[in-house]
């Protein structure tokens, strides 16, 4: 893997500052100092702190989406696809806990920002890819009947709830220890009987 770009270095520095000091308390100067970038470079790549926040959010959710897309390329059944949704979510959060905390607490801020449209577009694209991967199995009757807008919440909801508690330090069980359980719970919740 090559050297991270200046933009990536700035985003990682911002994440470290947000994790250490909080989003509101972090200044652009703190990000500059942590990244070693010049103010000109920060403004060239992002323009302001709100754009850094949005870019960091979009890159984080994009990481999960890329992990999921790679998995869909080899998933060969309805069960594998559903379990993949949960496995990728848990794996990404386990590997990126600070980023996951940031995402959980920053969605509303990004949605309300000038880059909220980019987030909505990214979400539409992501959910469209999930729908496309699941379509053949849905058409074959592999899933129980339920409103479409409930489906992903039913699949990922239990894992997402536990993950929030894990990220907040309120669980004794690790994500890795309950990964298989949540994958099976998701499949059991949506498979046709």
| Whether 151 contacts 124, CB under 8 Å | no
* Residue 183: closest CA among 91, 62, 94, 76: 91
Per-residue pLDDT band for 2 (boundaries 50, 70, 90) equals low
Q: What is the pLDDT of residues 130-153, one digit of tens each?
A: 999 999 999 999 999 999 889 999
Query: What domains appear along the chain, each with residue ranges and CATH number?
Result: 1-47 (1.10.10.60), 57-190 (1.10.357.10)
pLDDT above 60: residue 160: yes
Q: Mean of the pLDDT values across residues 38-43?
A: 88
Here the tokens at position 149 are 């807008």
Give the single-character DSSP code of 47.
Answer: S
| Whether 12 contacts 4, CB under 8 Å | yes
| Three-class HEC string of 48-59 | CHHHHHHHHHHH
Q: Model pTM?
A: 0.90
Q: Mean of the pLDDT values across residues 51-55?
A: 94
Using the structure block, give the residue that is written with the tokens 């990220």: 167
């Amino acid at each position: 893997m090559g050297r991270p770009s200046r933009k990536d270095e700035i985003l990682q520095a911002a994440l470290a500052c947000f994790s250490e000091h909080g989003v509101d308390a972090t200044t652009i100067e703190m990000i500059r100092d942590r990244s070693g970038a010049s103010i000109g470079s920060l403004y060239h790549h992002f323009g302001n702190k709100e754009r850094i926040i949005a870019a960091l959010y979009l890159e984080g959710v994009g990481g999960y989406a890329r992990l999921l897309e790679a998995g869909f390329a080899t998933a060969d059944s309805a069960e594998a696809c559903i379990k993949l949704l949960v496995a990728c979510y848990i794996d990404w959060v386990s590997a990126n806990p600070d980023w996951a905390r940031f995402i959980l607490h920053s969605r509303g801020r990004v949605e309300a920002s000038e880059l909220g449209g980019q987030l909505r577009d990214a979400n539409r694209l992501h959910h469209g890819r999930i729908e496309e991967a699941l379509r053949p199995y849905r058409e074959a009757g592999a899933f129980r009947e339920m409103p479409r807008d409930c489906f992903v919440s039913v699949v990922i909801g239990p894992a997402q709830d536990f993950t929030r508690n894990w990220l907040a330090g309120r669980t004794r069980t690790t994500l890795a220890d309950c990964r298989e359980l949540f994958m099976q719970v998701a499949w059991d919740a949506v498979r046709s009987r």
